[in-house]
Chain A
Amino acid sequence: MNVPTMAEMTAQGKQPEILFWVGCAGSFDDRAKKITKAFVKILNKAGVEFAVLGTEESCTGDPAKRAGNEFLFQMQAMTNIEVLNGYEIKKIVTACPHCFNTLKNEYPQLGGNYEVLHHTELIETLLNDGRLSIEGGKYKGQKITFHDPCYLGRANDIYEAPRSLIEKLEAELVEMKRCKSDGLCCGAGGAQMFKEPEKGTKDINVERTEEAIKTKSKIIATGCPFCNTMMTDGVKATNKEDDIKVLDIAELIANTEDL
């Protein structure tokens, strides 16, 4: 798989068009790694000159900040900013809305100013610019529901980019009752991913998955590795794992193109 690092590029005296920020989930989580690979395939197919930081990448600090540890967040942020600025990065794409939000909104005050895109935004641009085209229609006519990641939707008002891609697949987008700005969280945000939930009557991911199941879609699409985990667990908890797949938008596109 062609995945150049910034170090390699710089050694060759090249500067990539865009930096792909993989994120911790995309680098280490077995499920999320598939999303990473699907997205890399798309980038390669579209001929995007990209690079990753590889071992020079480190957690953006998002979960630390949401947990209240501003020290750790800023340590992470400043270290990352030093690396990014060292490579004179101008444009970043990431498949993780948490990395996206942090890089885009919380790094500027600490000296990191970049144009940051969510991968669905970049794919949309590639399609609009004709650098990528979708053919085949593997999902044509299929019901797909989209779960809005909080840090993409409400946090940054991006609702349309992922939806436009589902429409490009000629699939039938079926909205859940709580969608877009009313979307219900999957339960992972605010560092909840890394802890057991507080005492309650139900798990948030189950509540959300049940809502997705009500749309009668066989595919729950999302754009966040953490939402993906939570929804996948929710599908298992409701014993629907044989019927319903949870897929990232990048995977839908890559699958359609048989990448």
Chain B
Amino acid sequence: MNYIDNIAFAIILFLGVGFFVKNFQKLIRNIKLGKDINRKDNSSARWKNMAKIALGQSKMVKRPIAGILHIIVYLGFIIINIEVIEIIIDGLFGTHRVLSFLGSFYSFLIGSFEILAFLVLVSVSIFWIRRMVLKIPRFWNKEMKGFPKNDALYILYFEMVLMSLFLIMNATDVPFQQNDIGNPISQFLVPLFEGFNASTLFIVERTAWWLHITGILIFLNYLYYSKHLHILLAFPNTYFANLNPKGQFTNLESVTNEVKMMLDPTIDPFAAQPEGAADEIPEKFGASDVQDLNWVQLLNAYTCTECGRCTAACPANITGKELSPRAIMMKTRDRLEEVGENINKNGKFVDDGKQLLNDYIKPEELWACTSCNACVEECPVNIDPLAIILDMRRYLVMEQSAAPQELNLMMTNVENNGAPWQYNQMDRLNWKDEK
């Protein structure tokens, strides 16, 4: 017996999965660079959200064409991957179609895989047309140049090639075709290979089989570098998403303590520090870099698949402002990866003289936001770009006093006379007697 094939398969499988696991651990480490936030409460509502939004794709169908095509690709992806179980067993043990003992159920399975594979091919082709021929604007915003644009295309090509290989593999499997059951699509490909002799057909079938499984492993490993991570992260992302009303912005505890002290007449501001109390490092207010964000915000950044529905709904972006909620997520991820690389190289983060603010996200983008929550509402996987924008504004205002001048005026008014305009608080009820 010749075991070379089996050994080669085992090695490829081991490397493919191993390399992915290693990268995925880095990804989890990077996400954990974020600050802690409690998102473990109310697990029943969280499971429900995940089931509805990630598994059930409820927010995808808000745009029906893209939504339905996406569901086809998603179902195809999940269901056809059942076939991978058989491929792995076959590969490791040198069997051929080991699950065929299931008889007619097997034929039913493979038959459905074939139909799905065909539908995925069609859907992915339409996706390509939407991007490259119809040029739907949200795929052509300025943040979608270079890798982000190619990333999207590579994914589509990958899927086209993988589905084609699956169908070719079936079409050139002579005994499988002779059975003539479970081949509703591949039977139409058989004429393409007419005139091939048995050994050539065998070689084509084997080649397609090997390319198919190595392709899957390469695709798996591509995920880490790609926007396509959403196929995995959409699930935790929807689970850990914010459950509060969208209008409720987070309360900064650190500020609460200080404000309470300011307002409490019984506290002696000059009191000596209680003995034994450690010198606390004053916390930074708001966020200027990725480590200042919380881990859910960082998970958001990795989950974003750059579909641009947020940006297409953003009033600032629609009216030509610099802000794009998608770009906020992409820049956060880019910076996070840079910080991760830094840690890989140095063992810990060594100051590189850069940060998320200014080097990636400019104040002009942050100040264009109306906090209208359209981006949050639109996101099919409950990403919250607004939370990042607000945390960065907090840094600008509370650490740097760098608000736009008119906002400083507004805040001075609120502070001095309890209204954003320069009116006297004592005049607050004047309207009652005005005609």
Q: A residues engaging B (CB < 8 A)?
A: 1, 3, 5, 22, 24, 26-29, 33, 36-37, 52, 54-55, 57-59, 61, 63-72, 74-76, 78-79, 101, 104-106, 109-110, 150-151, 154-157, 181-185, 187-204, 207-208
Contact = CB atoms under 8 A, between A and B. Distances in A.
B431 interface: yes
A200 B316 contact: yes
**10 interchain residue pairs of minimum CB distance:** A155-B247, A201-B320, A68-B393, A190-B371, A58-B418, A185-B372, A105-B248, A200-B320, A68-B397, A194-B410
A17 to B, nearest CB: 19
B255 A74 contact: yes
A67 B246 CA distance: 16
Given A28-B419, A155-B373, A69 B406 contact: no
Contacts of A193: 420
Interface string B344-370: 000000000000000000001001111
B252 to A, nearest CB: 5
A136 B262 CA distance: 55
A157 B243 CA distance: 13
A27 B414 contact: no
A67 B319 contact: no
B326 interface: no
Contacts of B421: 24, 28-29
A101 B244 CA distance: 12
Given A63-B410, A109-B251, 11 more contacts: A70-B285, A72-B414, A150-B371, A150-B374, A151-B247, A200-B322, A204-B315, A204-B316, A204-B319, A204-B370, A207-B319
A78 B252 contact: no
Interface in B218-275: 244-249, 251-252, 255-256, 258-260, 262-263
Contacts of A156: 245-247
B259 A106 contact: no
Contacts of B285: 70
A6 to B, nearest CB: 11
B328 to A, nearest CB: 14
A197 B372 contact: no
A197 B414 contact: no
Interface string B385-427: 0000010111111100001101101110011001111010111
A63 B410 CA distance: 8
Nearest to B255: A70
A144 to B, nearest CB: 22
Nearest to B368: A198
Contacts of A181: 377
Contact of A197 (B368, B373, B419, B428): B368
A52 B372 contact: no
B432 interface: yes
Contact of B429 (A54, A67, A150, A201): A54
Given A33-B431, A190-B371, A195 B420 contact: no
B286 A68 contact: yes
B247 A105 contact: yes
Contacts of B304: none
Q: Which of B392, B421, B428 has the most CB of A within 10 A?
A: B428
B367 A198 contact: yes
Q: Which of B367, B372, B409, B425 has the most CB of A within 10 A?
A: B372
A106 B248 contact: yes
29 contacts: A27-B423, A52-B429, A64-B410, A64-B414, A66-B371, A66-B390, A68-B286, A69-B394, A69-B403, A70-B285, A72-B415, A105-B244, A154-B372, A154-B374, A155-B246, A156-B245, A181-B377, A182-B374, A187-B315, A194-B409, A195-B407, A196-B406, A197-B368, A198-B367, A199-B364, A200-B320, A204-B315, A204-B318, A207-B315
Contacts of A68: 286, 390, 392-398, 403
Nearest to A65: B249
B429 A182 contact: no
A154 B375 CA distance: 11
A104 to B, nearest CB: 8
B130 interface: no
B420 A63 contact: yes
A75 B259 contact: yes
A79 B263 contact: yes
Given A24-B419, A194-B407, A207-B318, A5 B259 contact: no
A67 B405 CA distance: 12
B194 interface: no
B370 A55 contact: no
Contacts of B371: 66, 150, 189-191
B321 interface: yes
A202 B390 CA distance: 24
Q: Which of B371, B374, B414, B433 has the most CB of A within 10 A?
A: B414
B321 A199 contact: yes
Given A22-B428, A184-B374, A106 B249 contact: yes
Contacts of B425: 55, 58
B313 interface: yes
B279 interface: no
A121 B377 CA distance: 23
Nearest to B262: A75
Contacts of A57: 418, 428
A64 B394 CA distance: 10
B280 interface: no
Contacts of A58: 418-419, 425
A5 B395 CA distance: 39
B434 interface: yes
